[in-house]
Chains A and B, each alone.
Chain A
Amino acid sequence: MLENAWLAWMILGSPLIAFVVVGLVGRRLPEGGAHVVVGSLAASLVIAVYFLVQVLQQGAIGNSTATTVPGFTWIPGDPATGEGAIGMNLLIDNLSAFLLVLVSFLSLLIAIFSIGYMHEEAGKPRYYAEIALFVAGMLGTVSADNFLQLLIFWEIMGLCSYLLIGFWYHKPEAASAAKKAFLVTRVGDVLFLAGILVIWNVFHSFRFEEIVQKIPVLWGGAYTPQLALLIPLFLFGGAVGKSAQFPLHAWLPDAMEGPTTVSALIHAATMVKAGVYLTARSFIFLVPIATGGGILVQAVPWNAILVIAGIGAFTAVFAGSMALANYDIKRVLAFSTISQLAYMFLGLGAGAYLMASEAAHGSTEVATAGYSAALFHLTNHAFFKALLFLAAGSVIHAVHTNDMRAMGGLGKLMPWTSKTMLMGALALSGIIPFSGFFSKDDILAVTFETGASNPLFYLMWVAGIGTAFMTAFYTFRMWLMTFHGEFRGHGHPHESPRVMTSVLIVLSVFTIASGAIAFLTNGFGNLIFYEEPHAALPLITPLLEANVVELALTGLSLALALAGVGLAWAVYGKRVISPSTFTKTPTRAFLHSMLVNRYWIDDWYNAFGSRTVAGFARAVDWFDRNVVDGIVNALGRGGVVVGALSDLFDRKVIDGAVNSISLETIRSSLALRTRQTGQVQNYTWVIVLGIVAILVLAVLLGILPRILGRP
């Protein structure tokens, strides 16, 4: 049990309050309310650290602790059983406590950086309000205790991402990129929602803890093998959208139209990691826990795990290759982010497979190395990618362009930026002893180890080390093109203000040091783990004690990374090899243009969207106007025709009869009116003659006595 558990709500609450304050009165605050947001994030960070310390103390290192902080009930459950209640609670366990600290720390740094970076922008209150809301969403996502709540915060993040990508909304590219980001992730969200519906249907609950307990109970009953396969795949669909994995990767490079701080925070350090987080949470389906502990091997969806790992391995190579030929400094980083996220999925997939197959072989120990390796990489990547993006932002701030062809030689002009960015580049390339090395090597080692259970993982491992080579190459290509050689742009770039460089320095310290977390905790697997701690790699001691194969693997990946750095140096540093070598022959030129055009996938998507879908929509619209409405109108016209016919009948036949009668009446009366002279004496004549005629008739008929009556 945590002390002062209610304070956990303030982790989310404080940026939310900042959102409201800045949203309402930000215009009147200095710097558009930046200080309010920074303060609120600092408060979040303090509280999050407070809880992380508690979690670590209570569980010691290597023990798990989970506390649910109660919130409020949205929908009460069934009145009889209480089942099916939907509430909003926070789950503080090792994973969420750690991520809360990570997210609030990075958000704080980036918010501070923004003070300098966004100084000259109009619309700062909007920016800071949305940043605050975003951070609240991200913190809510990682601390949600059920899938529905997770989805809700997930969508809030998506909304903020949409708004922030479109921050310069008057730019058509930004508007279009924002739309694209929302729509593509929306496809993933729909799958996520479908997964949640299936979960609700099977378990009548969204809460992680209840689901864990119910899986072994319902297995074989409501929880069938098909559903066991379907649920994690649906959830992974959401992760693919959010984390920009193939085939829903197209939005992330375009999302670079937003401010660089947004790219750093949302599209590198935090939001895109939510997919990884979700997949980590869906381990309860991937490697379900049996009632008495241990793993319920029958319920493991092997194919779903293979899909996750496979998508990860493929996307790693795929996105990494697209970064090779790009000239936009932010897009290189964006492709790199996709590629690194794919590493994490590979690690999660391989880890789950390893865990399950070891359990299937009768091992009692839960092998959580892949799980913790992926989350370790998540941590490290958050630091070094934020650093790289912010450094890139510092460069862009100075030269006012994203195009690396208009940079060069900035190393002398911007010493702090260049040096800190070099730290990030080394970490990203996976050079020992920078943080990226440890976690990436972990993932590759786990993948290789899983290969023993399923040879497909050897293939994925090859993809992984291939990516390591490409990563090193494009990272240093980027760094060298930016900072090395002569300045190729215009104007006089100068170093960014202290508020920005100091953040870069802090981040570069963490970039170097975050790999050391594993040493502090005797293996990252003792800090964050699934079900059982596992003093996993990387530790120098077990590494050296490990068998020759693992050492050789580490050496190989390191050598490939160094080779990548060397190649980049040869091409862009020393200029021993001319860049035009890559486009010399037609085949190479074709490959180059393929990479530049991102395998034409964006073009296909655009064509699909603007031609197929829009065309279909227009066809349906035509159908609606002409066919459906046409039938209605035809029915209406038919009614009018029937009406006209009956009108004809009415006029000619029915009304004709009536009219002819009245016509005859008029005609005869016209004839008769001449008899009406108006002369009283004429009438008198008629009366007298009439009486006479009556009398005559009466006499003639002999009825006169009857008329006169008898006396």
Chain B
Amino acid sequence: MIPVEYELILSTALFCIGLYGVMVRKNAIIVLMSIEILLNAAILNFVAFSSYAPPAGDPAGQVFALLAIAIAAGEAAIGLAIFLALYETHGTTELDKIRLLRW
């Protein structure tokens, strides 16, 4: 059985990669993909703790994981739709070109 520490390290690594993508990359699609990576890092944590929970594991973690995957799919769909609309109106998906929030 893989010790839980490994799984947590993997999860942390994924999270850092995702965070990096969100913070640094300008392309909206890539930022969205990075968010997916962030989510997967969290899902990995759920699954890992679910199997290690005493005495014989807790199914709740797996349920959360499945729920999160489903919602992440929805979120990706919505996000892509927004980006599509953004592209149509602004002609770009570069995040630093889009300044709608600035008053």
Contact A684/B22 with A676-B102, A678-B102 known, Cβ cut-off 8 Å: yes
Task: Verify if A548 is at the interface (C-beta below 8 Å from B).
Answer: no
Contact among A673, A678, A681 for B23, CB-based, below 8 A: A681
Q: Tell me the complex Cα distance, A7–B102, Å.
A: 108
* A window 665-690: CB within 8 A of B: 673, 676-681, 684-685, 688
Residues of A within 8 A of B22 (CB): 681, 684
> Using Cβ atoms and an 8 Å threshold, which residues of chain A touch B103?
673, 676, 678
Assign chain A's interface to a size class. 10 to 19
Determine if A680 and B102 form an interchain contact, defined as CB atoms under 8 angstroms apart: no
Shortest C-beta distance, B75 to chain A (Å), equals 15
User: A residues within 8 A CB of B31?
Assistant: 681
Chain B interfacial residues counted at CB < 8 A: 13
Name the B residues within 8 Å of A673 (CB-CB): 103
> Would A685 and B95 be within 8 Å (CB), given that A678-B100, A678-B101 are in contact?
no
Distance of A678 Cα from B96 Cα, bound (Å): 9
A693 to nearest B CB, angstroms? 15
Structural contact, A685 and B102, CB atoms closer than 8 A = no
The verdict on B1 contacting chain A, using a C-beta distance below 8 Å, is no
Given contacts A676-B103, A678-B101, contact A688 B95 (CB under 8 A): no
Residues of A within 8 A of B26 (CB): 681
B residues within 8 A CB of A679? 95-96, 99
Provide the A319-353 mask, 1 if CB < 8 A to any CB of B, else 0: 00000000000000000000000000000000000
Q: Cα distance A676–B101 when bound, in Å?
A: 9
CB pair A678–B95 under 8 Å, yes or no, is: no
CB distance from A695 to the nearest CB of B (A): 14
Which residues of chain A (627-682) have a CB below 8 Å from chain B? 673, 676-681
Q: Are B96 and A681 in contact (CB under 8 A)?
A: yes
Interface residue B56 (Cβ < 8 Å from any Cβ of A): no
Q: Which residues of A contact B95 (CB under 8 A)?
A: 679-681
Kindly state the separation between the CA atoms of A696 and B17 in the bound complex, as whole angstroms: 21
CA distance A680 to B103 in the complex (A): 14
Q: Please, which residue of chain B has its CB at the minimum distance from the CB of A683?
A: B101
Say how far B42's CB is from chain A's closest CB, in angstroms: 15
B70 contacts the other chain (Cβ, under 8 Å)? no
Could you say which of B19, B96, B99, B100 contacts A688, with CB atoms under 8 Å apart? B19
Tell yes or no: B2 within 8 A of A by CB: no
A685 to B96, CA, bound (A): 14
Nearest-CB distance from B53 to chain A (Å)? 12
Give the nearest-CB partner of B22 in chain A.
A684
Query: Hey, what's the 0/1 contact readout for B5-48 against A, CB within 8 Å counting as 1?
Result: 00000000000000100111010000100000000000000000
Say whether A681 contacts B24, CB under 8 Å: yes
Bound state CA distance, A591 and B23, in angstroms?
130
9 smallest beta-carbon distances between A and B, as pairs = A678-B102, A678-B101, A678-B99, A684-B23, A681-B23, A679-B96, A684-B22, A685-B23, A681-B95
Extra pairs beyond A677-B99, A678-B103 (20, CB < 8 Å): A673-B103, A676-B102, A676-B103, A677-B102, A678-B99, A678-B100, A678-B101, A678-B102, A679-B95, A679-B99, A680-B95, A680-B101, A681-B23, A681-B24, A681-B26, A681-B31, A681-B95, A684-B22, A684-B23, A688-B23
Sample 26 A-B pairs with CB under 8 A, ordered by A number.
A673-B103, A676-B102, A676-B103, A677-B99, A677-B102, A678-B99, A678-B100, A678-B101, A678-B102, A678-B103, A679-B95, A679-B96, A679-B99, A680-B95, A680-B101, A681-B22, A681-B23, A681-B24, A681-B26, A681-B31, A681-B95, A684-B22, A684-B23, A685-B23, A688-B19, A688-B23
